[in-house]
Amino acid sequence: MNTPTPPGAPTPLPRAVWWVLGGSLLLSLVIACAFPLLDPDEGRNAQVAAEMAASGDLVIPHLAGVPYLDKPPALFAMAAAAIRVLGPTPLAARLPAMLALLVTLFLLARASVSVAAPGHAWRTTAFTAFAPLCAILGAYVIFDMPLTACVTTVWTLLALELERGPSRSRRALMFLAVGLGILVKGPVMLAWTLGGSLASALLLRSRAPLRWLAWAPGWLLALGLPGVWFAAALQRHPEYLRYAFVEESFERMTSTTFHRDQPWWFVPAVFVAGALPWSLATPWRAPRTRATRVATGFVLFAAVFFQLSHSKLVTYLLPAFPALAWWAAEAWLEARRSPRVLLALLAFTPLVLVAGYGPIRQQAARTSGVGLAQAIRAAGSPPYRFEDCYSPGTDYLLGRRSPVVSASGHPLTSNYVVRYRDVLRARGLWTLVDSSAAAPPARIVVRETRRAGDPPPGAREILRDGRFTAWLLPAARP
């Protein structure tokens, strides 16, 4: 006999939703444990988190000992906490993204059982969890999945507000999500918040989706903690004001400085490919309910904003995918499509990963630091240094912070480091080494294979692949 839900209590999630959450967690664990960290993005972010875990400095992230202010510290801090518990493993570095995906799915399900038709909750969570882009980035060391959880918090709670009326606690959660999103990826969270709410208002032909933005106490919550962190960062690095708002945000969107402009078809192609096969199988129609129009408003914002932006990456569109899945779930329900067909479509991503496991893993290994780490371990794990190159993934896997010989800072793939290296030098914060002669003693020397040059005198080659060549130097005579 079923026990009735007490008045005012949250509606229990359907059993199918819990199956989706469990399946999503299992898929994320498999991906996180089966594939190596990819350089430069995953290896770099993981190594920044490892250095934060070692130093305890939660204000200024560091890479190879140099201040790394390309992104705010929230993702690094979350990964650092996991690394302290699990050690420098791929799973530890990927855990924040995995948890962010689960939070996103839970928020979708909770909102759906409150405002959508029966059967919508498991469909929208399943569409999200098994969309190829969400499944992969749900086990990837990158900022966009935690950002997705923050954006999803905003629009799902906004949908609930439009159905049930304003609530201080709900609005507080919305603004806290805005603040966390800023600490994860900077001012772009404000763009998602304001732009998505405005697009929702246009689709609903109502000002209601904008009213929550006028709640003044909420902005204290949203900007309070990021403001404290930003002030602390500016005290140590005053140039960060210009870098964060002008160079990293405004110039990224309005100029081709970052070389990330894409053709006109890029955004629709990401939406289609990133949600295969349901993006093509869905009987798309105009959104019917208020909640779906809110979701569609955030999809519309993403399409317009990133179409106009001169900086486009596939990952930038990830926060729109849960909203796209919500819209698709409504369309499937209205068309009365068989759940069996949907379940068959959801097998697409796991089957692709299983069928292509060998080639995918080989390709991942070519762009990871695993091969170099294995070669260094096989040589007895002696001290090593990088010369005009860097594999942060290798440092991460070996639990090291190795010397990097570079006068420019380019091997760190950090725009902030390259642009402000003279400032960092003047402050005594430049930990890279200008020349091999000035570098600390090392038994292993690593260079880029394409410009490796002559081996060091008496050295024995221990690795040569598409990225790096490493030599073991003779042991010093006593």
Per-residue model confidence as pLDDT tens digits over 421-450: 999 999 999 999 999 999 999 999 999 999
pLDDT recorded at residue 225: 94
Q: Check whether 4 has a pLDDT greater than 50.
A: no
| pLDDT tens digits, 456-466 | 999 999 999 99
> Pairing relation of β-strands 444-448 and 384-387?
parallel
pLDDT recorded at residue 313: 92
pLDDT recorded at residue 336: 87
| Buried b / exposed e along 371-399 (16+ C-beta atoms within 10 A) | bbbebbeebeeeebbbbbbbbbbbbbbbe
Q: Is 445 helix (H, G, I), strand (E, B) or coil?
A: strand
Confidence of residue 2 (pLDDT cuts 50, 70, 90): very low
pLDDT recorded at residue 121: 97
| pLDDT tens digits, 34-47 | 999 999 999 999 99
Mean pLDDT, rounded, for 366-392: 96
Side chain identity at residue 64, one-letter code? A
User: Can you tell me the distance from the alpha carbon of 32 to that of 83, in angstroms, rounded to the nearest whole number?
Assistant: 14
pLDDT recorded at residue 247: 87
Confidence of residue 9 (pLDDT cuts 50, 70, 90): low
pLDDT recorded at residue 306: 94
User: Can you tell me the distance from the alpha carbon of 450 to that of 467, in angstroms, rounded to the nearest whole number?
Assistant: 8
pLDDT recorded at residue 80: 98
Confidence of residue 477 (pLDDT cuts 50, 70, 90): low
Closest to 147 in 3D by CA, of 10, 315, 367, 378: 315
User: Can you tell me the distance from the alpha carbon of 264 to that of 152, in angstroms, rounded to the nearest whole number?
Assistant: 26
| pLDDT tens digits, 217-264 | 999 999 999 999 999 999 999 999 999 999 888 887 887 777 678 898
Q: What is the pTM of this model?
A: 0.95
pLDDT recorded at residue 1: 37
